[in-house]
Amino acid sequence: MPLEDVRIIAVEQYGAGPFGSVHLADLGAEVIKIEDPSTGGDVGRYVVPEQHGEDSLFFETFNRNKRSLSLDISAPEGRAVFEDLVRVSDVVHSNLRGDVPAKLRIRYDDLKHLNPAIVCSSLSGFGMTGPRSAEPGYDYVLQGMAGWMDLTGEPGGPPTKSGLSLVDYSGGLVAAASILAALHAARRDGVGADCDVSLFDTAISMLTYPAAWQLNGDFEPRRTHHSAHPSLVPFQAFPTGDGWIVVACPKEKFFRRLAEALGHPEWPDDPRYRDFAARRRNADALLAELEAVFATAPSEHWLDLLRSAGVPCGPVNTVAEALRDPHTAARGMVVETDHPHFGTVRQVASPLRVGAQRPRHTRAPRRDEDADYVLGELLGYDAERVERLRGAAAAR
């Protein structure tokens, strides 16, 4: 596997940090989760529903293909183990509050004497600098702060969050990309670095072109009816005779194909609809015509027609329908692991693809399941030292 020679110490919990590292684990990296024994380990173990003891399907989703070591790195004995792990690892990855890496001494300057090439990734709510660095940050909070909720939902409705924790997941992927870039440089130059990644930065960066329009002109981003694109028409959801479909015309050729397929070949020559700018100015008229057409037949009729015409389109699926889509199966996007309590666990795969080899998938670890491997095989501790560690409650 591409990352089979990479070892990551993950001081991580919940969603964002583990989401970043699970993709690296799927690509072959050895990810060793450090779980605090005083708190029962990763809080994701206790998320309901589908939770039993120290296991949950939430935890399974973010922690497959990883190892677990129960270790209190704030205790002297636990710190010694942690430092030994730093000596034989490539990355220390954490998702803690922005001021905590300094307190735990897990930044590059704190660890470079142990391993000059160590990469230290911190994914926090607001970063390790700035006036909010000591504040906790969660996806929902960040969606509000970064303007996402103001843009989401129907005009005149309440601010609305995404149905998924997209700030968390995007932040995890940004952290993974930062880790890979820093690791590349460390192996080239022999010098590691800090990766100071924040959910706030991630959320602000994803404002992309609406931010550029606002920063450089008088454009005011607003919510749009039926989730319409802010400038391209038509590019939105439409109600049909029995459901909803999404139709997208981001190129002039697609609008010409749409008009022809719907029996209105005159539309592209109509001065009101002849180009992007005209259609935006006259959106109300065009969308009213389109909605009247789409309401006359069921979704499948229109999807078959538009796909045949080469118009970008798709159904508005439920989650269950999306998971049953034949293309989901064809792309291998549902994988299985075996779990001692839950049995066969089906979950979605990582979208990262490198070469032809597909990853193996193993269940998430039980807390401290890999202590013998990490302490004995990897670090070479004898049985007496392991027993002393457990007696000191540094690892249990």
Please, are residues 41 and 114 in contact by the beta-carbon 8 Å criterion? no
Catalytic residue among 52, 93, 225, 229: 229
Tokens 């807390």 correspond to 367
Please, are residues 107 and 120 in contact by the beta-carbon 8 Å criterion? yes
Please, are residues 62 and 43 in contact by the beta-carbon 8 Å criterion? no
Q: Is 229 a catalytic residue?
A: yes
Residues ≥6 apart with Cβ < 8 Å to 336: 344, 345, 346, 347, 361
Q: Give catalytic residues, as residue numbers.
A: 229
